């Protein structure tokens, strides 16, 4: 009990605003207390109100686990892993350290299996997306090698399956036509070796067995010899009708090669389409690699589920199912 000295000034005593002291609260004090009580709950909250603050605190109530620091790779979503772990924890309701560890082992295995499926998806997507490019690059390298070795390997026209090779052969015929038209016959013979390979004298006797087939190159060579002989003897040039015939032969070959090139381009487009469809199945090596990992994860998930179930049955005093040990020899 407070002892009061009657000689003291009453204004020096502290006022009790709750109404249980020396005097009852005034009307203003009552209204101030009521207004504070009437304030909405949102005004009393002390949590973050800005977007940045909410982002910082949105994981505060999540369970993080012991292994989350080591499980996640760069670029993987921590929120998705935590969501998976919390979902498993809510389902299994682990109690004690051992059950919690088994639940997190299960989360880790499922996360790694998810990563495996992502790798398989990336493998297939890469094959589907770039199969056409790889195919065309192989065709380009094939054409480049055929062009470099044309003279000694039988000529460009030996390969009738690559549109790039056919296009180069067509352009070579166009150069030959220009040389014939300008009267540069021996220059034509040099260009012919690109198309049909190096000409040898024995080819006249052995036909196709010698490397250069009879036909246009032999005809052109005969025309060149006639032109050279006429020039040596000072005679008139070779019959213009023969020159016209050679030009017509060249034009026919150019037209034929244009048709072949268009056909091969259509075929290549169809091949790329079917190769892209077939790319949904990885190659043998990739399939075996992925299958081994998937089998390993599936087996470990089953083992973890069995251990977790046995731990919870032991804790609850329930009978344990018999263990099945399957060994294949």
Asked, for residue 139, whether it belongs to a domain, the answer is no
Same domain, 124 and 197: no
Q: What's the half-sphere exposure (Cβ side, CA atoms, 13 Å) at 16?
A: 8
Closest of 114, 94, 117 to residue 104, by C-alpha: 94
Asked, for residue 16, whether it belongs to a domain, the answer is no
Same domain, 265 and 293: no
Same domain, 153 and 262: yes
User: Is residue 308 a contact partner of residue 102, using CB atoms and an 8 Å limit?
Assistant: yes
Q: What is the pLDDT at residue 69?
A: 72
Token digits of residue 119: 């790798």
Q: At 162, which helix (H) or strand (E)?
A: none
Q: What is the pLDDT at residue 183?
A: 78
Same domain, 157 and 269: yes
Listing DSSP states for 95-139 in one string gives -SHHHHHHHHHHHHHHHHHHHHHHHHHHHHHHHHHHHHHHHHHHH
Same domain, 163 and 272: yes
Same domain, 121 and 167: no
Token digits of residue 208: 């196709």
Asked, for residue 17, whether it belongs to a domain, the answer is no
Same domain, 189 and 241: yes
Asked, for residue 328, whether it belongs to a domain, the answer is no
Closest of 85, 112, 103 to residue 297, by C-alpha: 112
| CA separation for the pair 247, 168 (Å, rounded) | 19
Sort 157 into a burial class: Cβ within 10 Å, 0-12 / 13-18 / 19+. Answer: buried
Q: What is the pLDDT at residue 243?
A: 84
Asked, for residue 109, whether it belongs to a domain, the answer is yes
Same domain, 125 and 217: no
Asked, for residue 161, whether it belongs to a domain, the answer is yes
Same domain, 124 and 155: no
Asked, for residue 327, whether it belongs to a domain, the answer is no
Asked, for residue 104, whether it belongs to a domain, the answer is yes
User: Is residue 170 a contact partner of residue 257, using CB atoms and an 8 Å limit?
Assistant: yes
Q: What's the half-sphere exposure (Cβ side, CA atoms, 13 Å) at 128?
A: 10
Instruction: Give residue 146's Cα distance to chain centre.
Output: 32
29 Cβ contact partners less than 8 Å away, ≥ 6 residues apart: 17
Q: What is the pLDDT at residue 99?
A: 93
Same domain, 253 and 304: no
Closest of 191, 200, 204, 207 to residue 157, by C-alpha: 191
The domain of 91 spans 77-130+283-311
Count of domains for the chain: 2
Same domain, 108 and 203: no
Per-residue tens of pLDDT for the chain, all 329 residues:
444 454 444 444 444 444 444 556 666 665 655 555 555 544 454 556 776 665 544 444 345 566 667 788 989 999 999 999 999 999 999 999 999 999 999 999 999 999 999 999 998 898 888 988 999 999 999 999 988 888 888 889 888 899 999 999 999 999 999 988 887 877 888 888 889 887 554 444 444 444 445 578 888 888 888 877 777 776 666 677 888 888 999 999 999 999 999 999 999 999 998 988 888 888 888 888 889 999 999 999 999 999 999 999 999 998 887 776 655 55
User: Is residue 286 a contact partner of residue 142, using CB atoms and an 8 Å limit?
Assistant: no
Please give the biggest Cα pair distance in the chain: 158
Same domain, 112 and 220: no
């Amino acid at each position: 009990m407070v002892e009061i000295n009657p000689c003291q000034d009453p204004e020096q005593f502290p006022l009790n605003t709750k109404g249980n002291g020396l005097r009852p609260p005034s009307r203003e004090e009552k209204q101030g207390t009521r207004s504070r009580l009437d304030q909405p709950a949102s005004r009393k909250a002390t949590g973050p109100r800005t977007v940045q603050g909410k982002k910082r605190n949105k994981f505060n109530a999540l369970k993080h686990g012991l292994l989350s620091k080591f499980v996640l790779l760069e670029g993987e979503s921590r929120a998705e892993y935590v969501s998976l772990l919390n979902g498993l924890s809510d389902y299994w309701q682990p109690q004690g350290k051992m059950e919690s560890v088994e639940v997190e082992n299960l989360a880790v295995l499922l996360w790694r299996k998810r990563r495996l499926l992502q790798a398989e998806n990336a493998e297939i997507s890469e094959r589907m997306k770039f199969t056409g490019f790889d195919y065309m690059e192989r065709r380009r390298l094939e054409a480049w090698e055929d062009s470099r070795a044309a003279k000694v390997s039988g000529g460009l026209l030996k390969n009738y399956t690559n549109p790039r090779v056919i296009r180069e052969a067509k352009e070579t015929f166009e150069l030959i036509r220009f040389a014939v038209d300008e009267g540069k016959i021996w220059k034509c013979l040099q260009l012919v070796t690109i198309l049909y390979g190096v000409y040898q004298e024995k080819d006249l006797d052995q036909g196709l067995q010698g490397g250069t087939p009879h036909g246009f190159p032999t005809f052109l060579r005969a025309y060149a010899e006639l032109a050279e002989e006429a020039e040596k003897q000072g005679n008139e040039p070779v019959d213009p009708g023969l020159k016209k015939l050679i030009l017509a032969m060249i034009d026919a070959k150019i037209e034929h090669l244009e048709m072949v090139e268009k056909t091969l381009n259509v075929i290549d487009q169809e091949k790329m389409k079917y190769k892209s469809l077939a790319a949904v199945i990885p190659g043998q090596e990739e399939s075996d690699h992925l299958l081994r990992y998937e089998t390993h994860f599936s087996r470990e998930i089953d083992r973890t589920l069995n251990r977790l179930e046995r731990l919870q049955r032991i804790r609850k005093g329930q009978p344990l199912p018999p263990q099945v040990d399957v060994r294949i020899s």
